[in-house]
Amino acid sequence: MSRMEPLEKLIVALGRLPGVGRRTAERMAVRLARDSGGLSRELGAALADVAGRVGICAQCGDLTLLDANPCARCTSPRRDGHALCVVEDPADIEKIESSGAFQGRYHALLGRLSPMKGEGVAQLRLEALLQRIAAEGITEVILALSPDVEGDSTAAFIHHALAGQSVRVTRLALGIPAGSAIAYADPLTLARALQGRQKM
């Protein structure tokens, strides 16, 4: 059975969301189509609001309101401006914040070096990172990157790019199991990993 065009478009769009397969997308779309008066309109308005008012912080890469860019965390005078924690994904920032072990600033790369997926230096916020280190007087860069092949090559690239600059480069070491993502670590594990970071 071929779907009506508006429904098929919705299914395809929903299917592009993380963790949503074709069947789940179909169920969601049918549910929305049946309830076109209420939920569809509410969802449509919420989506338009997010698209129009939420964006990426020009400094750290986390989400922020477009009329507060750089974000509140980047502009907070209470945070240590000398230490910069580099993460792959903005979701990692929330995890590290929940550990309470870090009071500095953040920089999300929005990915990591992955030649297989075509993610190279140009796709990541690496140039912005190097500029920030010079411009903001950062003295320590903490690499909170997942301990796997791609995380390792991203860390090695940054370490190499910062060679010759008077900045200490450390990396989370203890506590995080090899091959697992930062996003899945519990706050205590993350706190220990931060305390046990090592000079690269």
Which chain residues interact with Zn ion by CB under 5 A? 57, 59-60, 70-71, 74
CB 151 within 8 A of CB 145: yes
The residue among 74 and 169 lying less far from Zn ion, judged by its C-beta, is 74
The residue among 10 and 138 lying less far from Zn ion, judged by its C-beta, is 138
List of E strands, 2-94? 54-56, 63-65, 80-87
In angstroms, what is the minimal distance from the CB of 73 to Zn ion?
Answer: 5
For residue 145, which of 123, 178, 167, 98 has the smallest C-alpha distance? 178
Tokens of 98: 């929940």
In angstroms, what is the minimal distance from the CB of 92 to Zn ion?
Answer: 14
The residue among 74 and 124 lying less far from Zn ion, judged by its C-beta, is 74
Partners of residue 108 on adjacent β-strands: 87
Angstrom CA distances, 107 to 48, 112, 155, stand at 27, 13, 13
The residue among 59 and 154 lying less far from Zn ion, judged by its C-beta, is 59
In angstroms, what is the minimal distance from the CB of 140 to Zn ion?
Answer: 18
Element (H, E) at 198: strand 198-199
Distance CA 128, CA 20 (A): 32
In angstroms, what is the minimal distance from the CB of 141 to Zn ion?
Answer: 16
The residue among 39 and 68 lying less far from Zn ion, judged by its C-beta, is 68
In angstroms, what is the minimal distance from the CB of 32 to Zn ion?
Answer: 33
